[in-house]
Structure 1
Amino acid sequence: MELWQHIRKFGLEYCDLPTMLWNVSVFLKLLTLNIYGKNKSGIPFIFYVIITAALLCYFYIYLVSMLWFVIVRSRETNDMVAAMVVLSLGISSEIGILKLLYMFVYIDNIRGLTDAFLDFDTLTIPGSRQASNLLRYMRDVKKRAIFYWMVVMGNATLYVFIPFAIPGRHLTEDLLVIYGLEPMHESPNYEIALIIMGASVYTICYISANVTCYLIVVIGYVESQMLTLSDEVTHIWTDAEEHYKKVAKLANDNFLTNYDQKNQIMNDYVSKTLKDIIKCHATIKTLLNQVEDVSRGPIAVGFILLIIGIIAELLGGLENTILQLPFVFIQVGIDCFIGQRVIDAGSIFQQAVYDCKWENFNKTNMKMVLMMLRASKKPTAITAGGIAQMSFECLMAATRVTYSAYTTIRSSMK
């Protein structure tokens, strides 16, 4: 029964930040990554053995054998199509490995970031409208993470098991020759290649799925908080009126008709609420900047690998790389998607500040609203190396550059 309760926490019934970070941490433990600074638990020794063996398989196939095949073997056979297919496999798989490497290098920053998000989340009052809205928005974030995880791992499953549906002996990639395992389709080389290729595919997809899910959750939390603050801003004056009615119930009838007293009480409430929102908004943007500092490097290199990988896949022929293309595209595409969502959330907050009925406020509160408007105009975004903001526009620009480079290379090869 207790096991079932733990399994249920991976579903959409539990969308609070602590549970979602726990969901991610469970999968990351197999990669020997502990994202918690406080209250971190140990990692079983068997996980170190599993991930070491899996990474050795991956590096031997998609790094050592790939380089040997592209540089040596393909030149001997003069098969450039096979070289491009195998090269695209190696390049595409490096995006996830790069993100994992960055997490290990910046693990102290990651742990500090996780703790900072959890500490900030405790400031939300349980049962309040803000908490309810936050959970509603975080539900969409969890849907996003689950969808991405299922697509990536589903792609791995298709890639590994499709050869079994084809008559004869086939591997996940028949064009690739593993160094030292020739002839590839004779026993026991075939069985060994089948196992280590399958293990390598699941390893790289597992890494990509779970490392990226951490970014989806924390960046999604920033987006959810921005949208929640937008709701709070638009309700400021209405909440002030409700607050005044509660205060007035404790006073005499003359109190209700005293306009100056009413205006003072309502603006005092507005002032307190605005200060809380300003503080919350500043903290959220600080946390996003910390996430951006950690992720800008791998995202930038990921974009470069995306362009090179897709070019290689197109040169190798879509009929040979049909399952690789969605794997590469979704890895960078999800970065652009969550980046676009954060940008949109910042724009919604800016519009909400302007629509907060500030014309009813006193001069002091109007000045605070003006300060909030100025602060909200600063972009809320994640970037690729601090150069390009991650957005749909950026993804389309990368796609255009990729296709232009492909057509140029293709025409020169002819």
Structure 2
Amino acid sequence: MISNVAMMLRVVALRIDPRNPKRIPTFLYILTGVCAVCYIYNYQISMLWFVFRRCRETGDVVAAMMVLSTGTTSLIGITKLFCVYYYQDNVQSMVGRYIEYDTTTIPPAAASLMLATMRNVKKRALLFGVVMMGNGFAYNLQPLFKPGRHLMDDDQILYGLEPMLETPNYQIALVNIILSVNFICFIVSNITGLLIITTGYSESRLLALSLEIQDIWQDALQHYRDNFNANYIEDKYDETATTELNKYVKHRLFHIQKSHFTNINLVKSIEDIFRYAIVVEFFLLTLSLIADLLGGLEHTYIIMPFALMQVGMDCFTGQRLMDASFVFEAAVYDCKWENFDASNRKTVQLMLQISQKTLVLSAGGVTALSFGCLMSMIRSIYSAYTALRSAINY
């Protein structure tokens, strides 16, 4: 999964997999630069000119809201792209540590659970990519379903290309918009895909560790039966059995504890890379959705899912990580620690204290990404919209 995402991100001149030392071809840097220039011209420079100058002259508030919504929504992906470029060395280090972490052995039952969880993570990443690319594809196809010569958004005017529907302005605008839309959808799909996969791996590891520690006492009993050929009465062990059982438990607890610490550090590295990009993402989503609502959903029905899906997937990913943390915390308490000796009980107590600090992804350390965060933000956006709508009507 990492190899697939790394190969896709090389297209936009990003190298995230330390196992692939190949130099990124020069033409990919040129392609990325051309697409970035087209995007900035279409959705930032032209957007600012259209909203704050042209629409003030024409008084077309709906067109201004639609163009503002498109420009701000598209910036979410650009923010993440800039973030990964800025922290590229940290991203490579994080990916390398995840790959190294994946080489550690785990019991067969935990490995099966982890594999099943990662299948769901893969489906999650694929679904997000299909929705993002499909949304851009549908946006680009709009002119084909309109009679005559049209652009994706006939209300949008690019700076310096008036009249928009005359040759060669029309062809230039069409090519620029298609390049910009594909560029945005591509980077959003793959950078968020990287976030989904890495966080999903931490989620799957937590669930695997939960099963491993929950079964630790039964595994110790089975280990004693297999290696000492001993017959004993349940819950009544002699001194030799007690020593051997706790020796096995101590060994397993050490590896579980070490794996958990590694997982915590990896999640912190994800948090350090993306936390400020997510803050900007929330701000842009708020501005975009308010503009969508003010412009009318009948005019912005293609743009709104693009914005909501991005933030919604981030919140869903954060919620799944939190859920896995709660499962691990419950499993630590349910590991039959009352059968352990004093030393192993102290280890379990330490693990329980650490696990009670839930692993989260946050928006700049202000709020944890979760379903509750998403719903609170939507409520705030709707409240701001109703206040602005009342002020406009008044």
Decide: shared fold, TM above 0.5: yes
1:192 Cα deviation (Å)? 1.8
Q: Among 231, 241, 246, which residue is 1:262 paired with?
A: 241
Larger displacement relative to structure 2 (218-227 or 365-374): 365-374
Matched, 1:189 2:177: no
**Residue 159 of structure 2: aligned partner:** 179
Q: Cα distance, 1:132 vs. partner?
A: 2.8
Say whether residues 1:44 and 2:22 are aligned partners: no
Name the residue aligned to 1:92: 73
1:338 is aligned to 2:309: no
Deviations 1:187-213 (A, max 9, x none): 222222111111111111111111111
Question: What SS class does the counterpart of residue 144 from structure 1 fall into?
Answer: helix
Of the three residues 348, 358, 374, the one matched with 1:379 is 358
Alpha-carbon distance in structure 2 between the residues aligned to 1:162 and 1:147: 22
Q: Return the letter of the residue paired with 1:179.
A: Y
The 1:264–1:190 alpha-carbon spacing in structure 2 relative to 1, beyond 3 Å, is same
**2:392 aligns to what?**
413
SS at match of 1:312: helix
Distance 1:37 1:69 in 2: 43
User: Does structure 1 conserve the Cα–Cα contact (< 8 Å) formed by 2:214 and 2:335?
Assistant: yes
Q: Go from structure 1 to structure 2 and tell me whether the alpha carbon gap of 1:86 and 1:258 turns closer, same or farther (over 3 Å shift).
A: closer
Whether 1:241 and 2:221 are equivalent positions in the alignment is yes
Give the corresponding residue for 1:159. Answer: 139
CA–CA distance in structure 1, aligned partners of residues 237 and 192 of structure 2: 57
Identity rate, percent:
45
8 Å contact kept, 2:285–2:307: yes
Structure 1: segments with no counterpart, 5+ residues: 1-19
Structure 2: gaps (5+ residues) = none
Alignment of 1:221-236 (within 5 A): 221-236=201-216
Structure 2 distance, partners of 1:184, 1:267, is 78
How far is the alpha carbon of 1:255 from its aligned partner?
12
Q: Deviations over 1:234-277 (max 9, x none)?
A: 1101111110011123x7x7999962211221111111111111
- What whole-Å deviation, never above 9, does each CA across 1:24-75 have from its counterpart, x for those lacking one? 0011000100002344222122211211111111111001111110111101
SS in 2 for 1:185: coil
Over 3 Å counting, the alpha-carbon distance change for 1:41 and 1:128 in structure 2 is farther
Q: Tell me what 2:125 maps to.
A: 145
Cα distance in structure 1, aligned partners of 2:48 and 2:381 = 23
One-letter code aligned to 1:385? G
| 2:342 is the alignment partner of 1:329 | no
Q: Measure the CA separation in 2 of the matches of 1:307 and 1:220.
A: 26
- TM-score by structure 2 length? 0.96
SS across alignment from 1:33: coil
* Other structure's SS at 1:264 match: helix
Query: 1:315, 1:210 → 2: CA distance?
Result: 31
Whole-Å separation in 1 of the counterparts to 2:143 and 2:272: 42
Who is 2:178 aligned against?
198
The yes-or-no answer on 1:121 pairing with 2:121 is no
CA distance in structure 1 between the aligned counterparts of 2:331 and 2:56, rounded to whole angstroms: 61
Structure 1 residues 262-313: Cα deviation after superposition (integer angstroms, max 9, x where no partner): 1221111111111111111011001101110111000011001110110011
Asked whether the equivalents of residues 100 and 211 of structure 1 are also in contact (C-alpha less than 8 Å), the reply is yes
- Once residues 76 and 400 of structure 1 are traced to their aligned partners in structure 2, the CA distance between those partners, rounded to angstroms, is 33
TM-superposed deviation, 1:128: 3.3
Once the 2 structures are TM-superposed, how far is the Cα of residue 163 of structure 1 from its aligned partner? 2.0
Distance change (3 Å), C-alpha of 1:154 and 1:39: closer
1:20-35 matches, cutoff 5 A: 20-35=1-16
Asked if 2 retains the 8 angstrom alpha-carbon contact of 1:36 and 1:114, the reply is yes
AA matched with 1:211: I
SS of the residue 1:108 aligns to: helix
Contact 1:172/1:198 (CA < 8 Å) preserved in 2? no
Per-residue Cα deviation, 1:53-102 (whole angstroms, up to 9, x for no partner): 11111111001111110111101111111111101111000000000001
Specify the SS of the correspondent of 1:215.
Answer: helix
Q: CA RMSD in A?
A: 1.7
CA contact (8 A) 1:124 1:130 kept: no
C-alpha separation between the residues in 2 aligned to 1:318 and 1:187? 32
TM-aligned CA deviation for residue 165 of structure 1? 1.3
Deviation beyond 6 Å, 4+ runs, structure 1: 253-258
Deviation for aligned residue 1:220: 0.7
Residue 21 of structure 1 contacts residue 217 of structure 1 at CA under 8 Å; is this kept in 2?
yes
